[in-house]
């Protein structure tokens, strides 16, 4: 992948297994989101405390969607609380993900309100500054922190 100030570009090259000849060049933004979500799903499955059912999500971009989906595949999630700085994106994300996951995905007014009651916290932002404070996390809280790789 490449990262510029304007965009992130992900591609996959598909080569012939016998000749090595290039067969396809695929845009892979969605594949990248799935891969990153899958990695967090595996981390959650093997590293998060058993029985954790409350998820806090900070960030509502494309990566946040696959992050939340992955966690719901490896844990029985009863509640997801979501914060982003943009209220309309937060509301739209919650509405979309509630329908997609058939789960209560609720908007909250602060990162603290998303993180503090959660057993699993997902941060999916481009912020180079911390978006979660340690004092908001209870002992044993699992954090999947992605993003900010520019």
Residue ranges and CATH numbers for the domains of the chain are 35-147 (3.40.50.720)
| Cα atoms found within 13 Å of the Cα of residue 108, Cβ hemisphere only | 21
| Sequential pLDDT tens for the chain (150 residues) | 677 777 778 889 999 999 999 999 988 888 888 999 999 999 999 999 999 999 999 999 999 999 999 999 999 999 999 999 999 999 999 999 999 999 999 999 999 999 999 999 999 998 989 999 999 999 999 999 998 764
**Cα 23–chain centre separation:** 32
How confident is the model at residue 143, as a pLDDT?
Answer: 98
**pTM, entire model:** 0.87
The region, left, alpha or beta by phi > 0 then psi within -120 to 50, assigned to residue 6 is alpha
Strand ranges, E, within 6-141: 8-9, 11-15, 22-27, 54-58, 79-83, 105-107, 120-125
User: For residue 141, what are the β-bridge partners?
Assistant: none
End-to-end CA distance of the chain: 12
Backbone dihedral angles phi then psi of residue 45, each to the nearest 5 degrees: -60, -45
């Amino acid at each position: 992948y490449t990262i510029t100030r304007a965009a992130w570009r992900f591609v996959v090259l598909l080569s012939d297994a016998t000749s090595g000849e290039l067969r396809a060049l695929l845009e892979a933004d969605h594949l990248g989101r799935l891969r990153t979500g899958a990695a967090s799903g595996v981390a959650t499955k093997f590293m998060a405390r058993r029985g954790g059912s409350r998820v806090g999500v900070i960030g509502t971009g494309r990566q946040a969607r696959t992050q939340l989906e992955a966690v719901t595949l490896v844990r029985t999630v009863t509640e997801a609380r979501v914060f982003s700085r943009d209220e309309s994106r937060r509301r739209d994300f919650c509405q979309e993900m509630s329908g997609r996951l058939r789960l209560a995905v609720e908007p909250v007014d602060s990162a603290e309100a998303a993180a503090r009651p959660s057993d699993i916290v997902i941060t999916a932002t481009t912020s180079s500054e911390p978006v979660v404070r340690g004092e908001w996390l209870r002992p044993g809280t699992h954090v999947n922190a992605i993003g900010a790789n520019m």
